């Protein structure tokens, strides 16, 4: 498995917070990838509101106003990349789980910026659902 996880202070990953309806923010500038991520999230996290954004700036603004219980983001995006987005989310909320996806091997950078999990995009279909299930 290509998953890289931060060493946890506890043995379990952070869980989705109790709320009437959990919310997952997905961010990717490629519309096809965004749709694929949304489909996987919907299947892995039934009952979760999936909110899609083609860019990190709008996603960050939404998060600051409405929050989320889980975030899935690409790395390579214009204006604000996924690593900057991850760092900004982590600065605002130390507990929300963040899954970073990229076709590049930037796992160490993603984790250093605050991601909980890094997945190589070529493995998303095979592995994202299982990773998300840990946070449901």
Question: Which residues touch 113 (CB under 8 Å, ≥6 apart)?
Answer: 83, 84, 86, 87, 90, 100
What pLDDT was estimated at residue 88? 97
At which residue do the structure tokens 């379990």 appear? 12
Domain ranges of the chain: 21-133
DSSP string over 74-122: ES--SSS-HHHHHHHHHHH-SSS-EEEEESS--HHHHHHTT-SEEEEGG
Asked whether the beta carbons of 38 and 26 are under 8 A apart, the reply is yes
pLDDT tens for residues 51-75?
Answer: 999 999 999 999 999 999 999 999 9
Report pTM. 0.82
The one-character DSSP state at 28 is: -
d(CA 117, CA 40): 16
More confident residue, 103 or 112: 112
pLDDT at 1 over 90: no
Average pLDDT over residues 22-41: 94
Sign (positive or negative) of CA dihedral 68, 74, 79, 80: positive
Given pLDDT bands bounded at 50, 70 and 90, which one contains residue 91? very high
Given pLDDT bands bounded at 50, 70 and 90, which one contains residue 18? very low
Which element (helix H / strand E) includes 51? strand 49-53
pLDDT at 34 over 90: yes
Average pLDDT over residues 84-113: 91
CATH fold of the domain at 21-133: Rossmann fold (3.40.50)
């Amino acid at each position: 498995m290509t998953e890289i996880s931060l060493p946890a202070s506890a043995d379990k990953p952070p869980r989705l917070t109790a709320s009437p309806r959990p919310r997952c923010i997905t961010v990717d500038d490629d519309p096809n990838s965004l749709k694929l991520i949304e489909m996987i999230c919907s299947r892995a996290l039934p009952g979760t509101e999936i909110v899609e954004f083609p860019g990190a700036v709008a996603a960050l603004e939404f998060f600051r106003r409405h929050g989320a219980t889980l975030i899935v983001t690409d790395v390579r995006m214009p204006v604000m990349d996924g690593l900057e987005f991850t760092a900004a989310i982590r600065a605002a909320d130390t507990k929300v789980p963040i899954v970073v996806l990229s076709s590049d091997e930037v796992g160490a950078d993603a984790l250093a910026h605050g991601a909980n999990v890094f997945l190589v995009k070529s493995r998303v279909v095979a592995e994202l659902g299982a990773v998300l299930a840990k946070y449901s």
